[in-house]
Amino acid sequence: MSLGHTTPLQEQALQDYIEQHFGTMLELSSQEFSQILWLEKTENRSPDNVPGISSYPLEKEVIRLLNRLHNLALLRDGSEASYQYFTKPQRDTNYDSPVLGRHEFSVLSRWFSAKALPEERYAALRSVTIVNAVARTTQARERAQQVWDSEGRGKLPQDGMEFLWATATHKPSIYPLLDTVSPDQETLLRAAFLPDSHFRHMLYAEGSRAMYYRLLDEVNRPQNNQALSRDTFNFWFMTWLIDVSGFWVNPAIPEGSYYLNQTEAQFAITQWHLLTNALFNPSKWQTRAVAARELLKNYLSYRAKVLALDNIPMDDLLAYGGLAALMRIQTPEQADDFHQAYNRLSMEKKQALRQIYTDKLIGNPTKTPTYLPAVFVNLYEAGGSFQHSFEMFVDIYIQSMQLIKEKYKTGDLQVNKPVSFKSLANTAEIIAEMRSVSIRLEGYDIVINTELDENSITIEPISTL
């Protein structure tokens, strides 16, 4: 089912929704309100959804943005009442992941406190959160194209982060909300919108060691040319933490964070520690490649060990960690199901998975594929057993990564452009009903194949329905 609302986003409808669900904890300036109204014309919606949710009272991306702004206010306040609001959707009877603990909420809140984040920087973070959402709208693209045409700059960047990075510097000519940013706030914008530094890709281990290169490069630039420094790194992290907090939103309980639960918070904090150590306390002998490899290896090992399984073969440790991150394994029950499903794989498939993670440690692919975690989540949500969903996902993953590797090697794919699994994620409900499926590359998109050609792969029948 298509997600979204059926009528244009009206000012009164938006105001009523805010008052009904957020009250005085979410007060918007007139500039913020006007900028948010752009979201009535968004064409780029995430295929990730709260399990079981099929409709939204407003445009889905509006609710995600309001939720993120509310979460930001709650984390800044840091009180017991704010903790209760923040974890409200996690205490719903249908929630099956560990609820964020009070201690972890306090740890996260320290980044957003008035002491750590002065008012001017807090205002910048609100603006970044809003612009991050509205940059996907038709209005933003049209205004940016006018600027590009007037400057003879050709085509707009298609990648979302590249687009933000390029357009945010134009401020009011594209985004009226950025009309009065100070020099300090402009520095923060550069850090927040740094391209090729996607924190969720790191959190779910979606890419190779190459996904860390831009961060490592930026902190080693001369200070007068840095987009990221020790001073602005935490702001970059806070931007992404708020993004994660509103990744999934339950429209029936839009107050607080559905997604940033106990385990997701622990994963994010661990990733912050690993990044901080690699970026600002590097070993003198480490090259960029070695530092990035160790970052990825340490995180994958950590994700495998937190599964708390007694008998993971050492040869499979990185594959366990990588798949657990991609599939968002969070509970002991999920870990047990995952372990059993992995053990049922053939030796050939286990070896193929080991090769994927060996490739990732040496930097392949150079650009992180997008929307891959949504493929498994949507497959499982479509109603199949864990075993069925796992085997289908692993087959798709192995065959797709082999195809991508070959096409990058032959030059059929440009190494600086990522392959997308978005179409596949959006058709997961169809795939879940299949015993086998053929996949092909359509440009840079992995899609269901209806006509076999040299760019296609065939998933063999799965062993268990």
- CA pair distance 407, 18, nearest whole angstrom: 48
Which pLDDT band holds residue 464 (cuts at 50, 70, 90)?
Answer: very low
- CA pair distance 373, 203, nearest whole angstrom: 11
Helix (H/G/I), strand (E/B), else coil: 328: coil
Helix (H/G/I), strand (E/B), else coil: 445: strand
Encoding tokens for residue 221?
Answer: 């630039």
Q: For position 284, what pLDDT does the model report?
A: 72
pTM here is: 0.90
Residue 92 half-sphere exposure, CB side, CA atoms within 13 Å? 21
Find the mean pLDDT for residues 109-137: 95
Helix (H/G/I), strand (E/B), else coil: 42: strand
374-400: pLDDT as tens digits: 999 999 988 778 998 999 999 999 999
- CA pair distance 272, 292, nearest whole angstrom: 14
14-65: pLDDT as tens digits: 888 899 999 888 999 999 999 999 987 555 555 555 555 656 667 888 999 9
Residue 159 half-sphere exposure, CB side, CA atoms within 13 Å? 20
249 or 68, higher pLDDT: 68
Q: What percentage of the chain exceeds 90 in pLDDT?
A: 68
430 or 32, higher pLDDT: 32
* Single-letter code of the amino acid located at 421: F
Encoding tokens for residue 147?
Answer: 């600027």
Q: How many helices (H) and strands (E) does the chain have?
A: 21, 3
165-179: pLDDT as tens digits: 999 878 788 999 999
Q: Contact 189/168 with Cβ under 8 angstroms?
A: yes
Q: Is the pLDDT of residue 367 over 80?
A: yes
- Taking Cα atoms as reference points, which of 397, 385, 395 lies closest to residue 337? 385
Helix (H/G/I), strand (E/B), else coil: 377: helix
459 or 165, higher pLDDT: 165
206-231: pLDDT as tens digits: 999 999 999 999 998 887 778 899 98
Q: Which strands sit side by side in the sheet containing 437-442, from one edge to the other?
A: 445-448, 437-442, 456-459
Domain boundaries in the chain? 11-195+230-259, 311-459
Helix (H/G/I), strand (E/B), else coil: 439: strand
Which pLDDT band holds residue 363 (cuts at 50, 70, 90)?
Answer: very high
Find the mean pLDDT for residues 235-263: 94
Which pLDDT band holds residue 141 (cuts at 50, 70, 90)?
Answer: very high
